[in-house]
Structure 1
Amino acid sequence: MERPFRVPFSELSTSYLSLFLFLLLLTTNEAAEHSIPDLVYLMAIKENLTDPYQKLHNWNSSSSPCTFNGVKCDKSSTHVMELDLGSFSLEGSFPTAVCNLQNITFLSLANNSIMGEVPKDLTNCGNLSYLNLSQNLLIGALPDFISELSSLEVLDLSSNNFSGPIPLDFARLGKLQTLDLYYNLLGGNIPSFLGNLTNLVHLRLTQNPFDSGVIPPEIGNMIKLQQIWLRQCNLTGEIPDSFGGLSELQKLDVSQNNLTGLWPGWTSNLVKLTSLQMYTNRLGGGIPADIGKMSSLEMLDVSGNMLTGSLPDSLGNLGKLTSLHLMNNQLTGAIPASLENLTMLRDLSLFKNSLHGEIPQKLGRNTQLEIFDLSENQLSGPLPSHLCNGGKLSSLHVFSNTLNGSVSEYGNCTTLVRLRLSKNQFSGEVPKDLWGFPGLELVELSSNRFEGSIPTDIRNAKSLSKLAIDDNEFSGELPVEIGMASSLSSFNASNNNFSGRLPDIFDRLHQIEILDLSRNSLSGAIFPSIGSVWTLALINLKANHFSGEIPTQIGNLQSLTYLDLSENHLTNKVPASLGNLHLIFFNVSSNQLSGLVPSGLIKYKRAFLENPKLCGDGFADIKPCTSKRGYLKIVVLTGCFFTASVVLVVGLWCFYKRRSKLHPRVINKSTIDFCPSKVVSFRKLVFHEHEIVNSLSEANVIGTGGAGKVYKIILGNGETVAVKRLPGSTKTGDSEFDSGFKAEIETLGVIRHKNIVKLWGGISLSDSNLLIYEYMSNGSIGNMLHDQKPCSLDWPTRYMIALDSAQGLAYLHYDCNPPIIHCDIKSNNILLDEELHARVADFGLAKILRKCNKGYETVFAVAGSYGYIAPEVSYSPKVTAKNDVYSFGVVLLELVTSRRPVDPSYGEGANIVKWVNRMLEKENGLEEILDHQISEIYKDSVLAVLRIALDCTNSLPFNRPNMRHVIWMLQSANPNGKTRTLTTEPIGNEPDTIHL
């Protein structure tokens, strides 16, 4: 909808202005005569702006301007001195009348929707000492009149769309103390004339696409600088040695550039430095010993570079250091024992280097460590025993080293959330209490020499999601209490010495996807209840002593892609139900199976070896089931039948020749165009193309979207699929797929997750393209929330839907390589299966982050659905993961309110985000926001999710949480009273900075 036309104050006719002043004189007795002009200009400012939330409601001509919201006056003269309209949600162009307020010294229009260019004539604003236009939609070049504002001390133009170089006039702002130009589209080089700003204390130029260039040495002339932020500024070369004169510097961020060296002498004078970040550069030198002279340093981050050499002992002199990030470099040598002196240290991350030797044994003794990550080095010796002394350790990662000894000291480390000790030489028993830590989510002990059994204490591990203890020397029976670890999704205990029966735990493990117990000594029958866990994708029971029949119920596991039951003592027939599965790997060799191999399994040619009592026709390695005489009878009968029906067959062939081929079509690598590196998510689905094409009738339509129609189709084998029909496109080269079709195929073809909808395959026709999905019987959450009256979803179900979809989205952002941005998250693209588990769907707009030398490159596009599109998309071409976070926040608001994202009741131009924020300002607005169908007993959880939704829909992308943080917050909002005590927030905001 177009904005109402506003007449600028500069174009008001003389007669109109005279009439306005005359009426003002008649009606205003309270305002002093000398303040009347200020009132006129303020009313003109209001006239030029759209005020959707009525923040300027008390701006009226019958009141003193000193009582207006956002206005401050001089107490003696009643002149307007300050105008602070920050975060008023105002819309419109820059109000030129503001500079007619001759005594104004403070102006903030931050965090609004001020659009267009800044006017060229602001000469009357010469008294301003503070100007903040940040977080708006301003475009064009930076103002070149800036030298006329010679009194400025603070200038903040950040988070806009200013472009072009920094004008020379900026060098004349002799009084300037703060210059913020970050998050713009500035070009050229960082100019050397900024060195003239000798009073500058804060310089922030982060995330601007400057031309490739060096850091100007003249910046070293700004001797009062306390903070320098130059992250992602396309910098090259070295940090100039002139920085050595910046004796008051507290924070330096030159991360995500192309720097090639760290000057060895400039650190000697930085005695007041409190933060140093040089993440994701290409630094080629080592860490200088002089760094120990930075006695006030609190954070040191030089990660993701090409630093070489050893760690200097002087690091131990940084007594105020709380965070030390040196990961992802080429550092060598030993970890200095001097790090034991860092009593303030909270986060030590040195992973992915070539460090060797022993870890200092007193490390952590007198500190409160929270994160300890030395993974992927060449460290040896025992693990320090004091890491948990501070009672806050949440992440202990030392995998892929050659560490040895026991971990007996860690039985009291109850704050642990992630424990990764795999690929070392640890031995002895794992402390009994450790198995049952209530907050523990991930345990990796693989490829060590651990022994002992799994204790019954594991029943307390309610948050445990992944348990990997393979390639060790564990023994004894598997306790039935494993089934009480109800969050378990992956359990790998292969290659150990476990014995006894496999406990019947499957009726409790509703989220398990991977079960690998291969190469143990387990015996007894495989319980049929294993077929009730619909989430199972991998079952590996190879090389045990299992006996009895293969449960036919395994054929119900439609998510199963890997089944290995080989090298056991299984008997009786191979269940025909296994032919219904879409397996990538299948093996039942070396058992005692008998009878006929079902015809549906003929595609697995070598899956039945060393089963002497098995027979099957068409297999090279097992005997046929029919004798020669019986075979001849079948041939004769078949010939007679063929002779009688040949005319009919020929007729049918002619009829279908132009429409489709009758031979079975298998969707796999040979029939579709997809990213060639990973194809594991494609299940082989045998079908006749004509049974898909001939079923594309209006009677089978179950949904219609912007991309095309969706059909429900029941195949000849009884399986139900959903088919999305997309418009076709002209062939280009050897590709027949249009961009939306390719995006969906390439995206879903390389990912697999329990909360991502499964794509069986695709067909390209002359006039359209078909995508074949698993069928989701309960439709979308949009249908459930908005089309069913009343909505049948209770709050615990809505909460689990939110958590499921958040996990699917986080998987795309962080676990795919490269990361994937969905670009069209909405309630209609989150589907529900028969048990109301949520899965993210519809990847036609998905964008893949391309890996480049500087980290992950954002993709440029404008995409999404109305009501879900983040506000920055309207003024910035960049698509980032934070766009998905905003859209997900809208979905959370839908779950909380049961309202649609866009509705006429919200008011002109408003959406659910603006409506919720407006309601929260009212006295009883919260009661109107929350869906009254949600039981009052869940109010605390609902309010917690509402707060998360508001964080996700923050108008500023960098203020939104990432999806890992969203999951962390959602887990703390559990409505079932299972809220975990969270010791620390998840670390990392960028896909290439997170170490999993």
Structure 2
Amino acid sequence: MEDLKNCAKLEYLDLGNNFFSGAVPDISSLSQLRYLYLNKSGFSGNFPWKSLQNMTGLVRLSLGDNPFNPSPIPTEVVQLTKLDWLYLSNCNIQGTIPTGIGSLNGLIDLELADNNMTGEIPAEIGNLINLWQLELYNNSFTGKLPVGLRNLTKLEMFDASKNLLEGGLSELRFLDNLFDRSLPQKLGSWAQFNFIDVSDNFLNGTIPPDMCKQGTMTKLLMLDNNFTGEIPATYANCSTLIRFRVNHNLLSGTVPSGIWGLPNLNIIDITSNNIEGPITSDIMNAKALGQLFVGNNRLSGELPTEISGATSLVSIQLNDNQFSGKTPPSIGDLKQLNVLHLQNNKFSGSIPETLGTCASLSDINMANNSLSGQIPSSLGSLPTLNSLNLSNNQLSGKIPKSFSSLRLSLLDLSYNRLAGPVPQALSIEAYNSSFTGNPGLCLLGISSVFPRCPSGSGMSRDVRTLIICFAVGAAVLLSLACFFYSRKSEKDQGRSLREESWDVKSFHVLSFTEDEIIDSIKQENLIGKGGSGNVYKVLLANGKELAVKHIWNTDSSGNGRKCRSSTTPMLSKHGGKSKEFDTEVQMLSSIRHVNVVKLYCSITSEDSSLLVYEYLPNGSLWDRLHTCEKVKLDWQTRHEIAVGAAKGLEHLHHGCERPVIHRDVKSSNILLDEFLKPRIADFGLAKIVRASGGKDSTHVIAGTHGYIAPEYGYTYKVNEKSDVYSFGVVLMELVTGKRPMEPEFGENKDIVNWISRKITTRESVLSLVDSKIPEALKEEAIKVLRIAILCTAALPALRPTMRSVVQMLEEAEHGGSKEERCEGNREI
């Protein structure tokens, strides 16, 4: 063996599978070596790693299964850039995998198993795109599988068992060669399945037919895969099923008729497949069915009259199919119906008058059909209707006068054959495009959109002109009065604050006096303006910074400040500062949570109130997402902000003596500290404003346009689910980088509507994610987008609680299953 060093031109050396002893002989002179096999040779001691630095042409290095002395992987190994085979298993390797491993991009086989290696698997391993085998088992690796592992598309053998790894397996979903992506056809034949959830896994093949063979299955959840073939007929007899969801697959054929009538089903969701055939009369037996989602298929035939037997139906979505015939009048028997989507089909005949008896309806969409006849006046009596789209039909006659009482966030009657006057209550700018394509319509007033209706009011032109001139003149005089008074009030404000008598209520140990706060309420310290008041930054003598919100009261008797600039709220005062105000402020100040802005004290007088908060130096989430160029938010930071803000809201809803409803959740009310950790701000402030303002403050809207839940438009009431909706919009901002309202969304459309139109294919969903988020992390972002969609469900009852939202967001980070965490009615 001593003479081995003389073989200077040796290219192939195999001493493996022998019983040598002692140290490896000197091989430093073998610079021409291309293949070196010493595996299981019996050598021990220190391996001469320095010898490898001359072997720059080495293609295969196999040193495993030897009792060498402990050693990390040296730099000499990661400099062998021509290697395609590296076997270092079971040879006392310790330490971490060096990041330089990524330079060995010719590797086909990398085996580091049965050693004492630690640390995280480096992301650079994703550069080894030619890997066929990767063995890392029986070490002490920690952390998550690295982002980029999905790049190893040639990988067929992978073992990382017996380590300390954690987190999700989402990176492996893209490695087709690792898995047989079809389910065994005998699955469930031998087991009493309670449920199966294989959602969102790129699975293919056909649905196994026997998963309900034992008669115990309650939930079949196979959404977002690539399953093909027909829905097995065996499930028509699965009477225990509660949830049947196979949406977003490639299924074809017809739905076995018995499935429509399963007695315990709460939801049928076959959306976005290639399924044909009718909905059968069996549906009359589906007494528990609440949600029927069959959109984006090839279903046809008439909607059966027997659907009225499914009396628990809350949502019917049959859009984008080939249904035809008349809408059955029996649909009026569905008294719990909230959503009816029949758009993009071939329905004909008239809209049944009985639809107006479905008192719970909030969303009707029957656009792009062949409906004819008059619009039933009964629709104008629906007390909770929020969205009505009857566009692109052949409807005729007048717009019912009863529509004047509706308060709709969306109204679209365009491209029909309607005629006559547009009701005065609908002749507003928000509905300008709602009547396009109806040349027979006219307006009672002056309009550039429609011709003026023939005058029939009996009022002469001279009288109308006089009234208009009087109104314009009065408006000009009032504006001038307010302008001059506001200029004067700005000069007097600083002096008047000092002259007022102030009452301080502290809720923490204070390191400042009321004079320090009052003296700082001046224009140069103004940092923000909002509907509830101005915000000032206060720098104390001790160097501490505070934020002070100044809320003005206005004396309803006429002795207070009457005209102020539009950025300062005018709140009438009823008998001075109310007890309700004190109660609300004291309750809010008692809230202690790491994700809620701290309220130190209130300083109140007869004319105004000052709320003193901690100051957050990094502004708001709105600033970081939409206006500030200084700090770009990476996905990890965005996710942490989402989780932290959700925990803050959860505490307000569930962690206080009585629930605190925020009333104005938005990205500008999520402030960021020096570490970009979020804090919920302005919580409950809308209620404080009402308490301060008395009876005349009912005009203060709870929320901000783009964030307001749809039900507020017709109930004017808010609860915890209103906050959940608004938080869902914030999550959409975090994922897409878009504002809640953007011109690209379309006229009168917001981000919720925009996203709901985009989630038709996986490619379109991926396109929603902010381009600043790396491709490898877009799947993680989509998990959060799914949660956002659940939060913005049209029905408040279908939105999750903030407690569930926190759980889902935390599980999304760790790759948890998504379906069944909450009862949402929409999925990507």
Higher relative contact order (CA 8 A, sep 6+): 2
TM-score (norm 1): 0.39
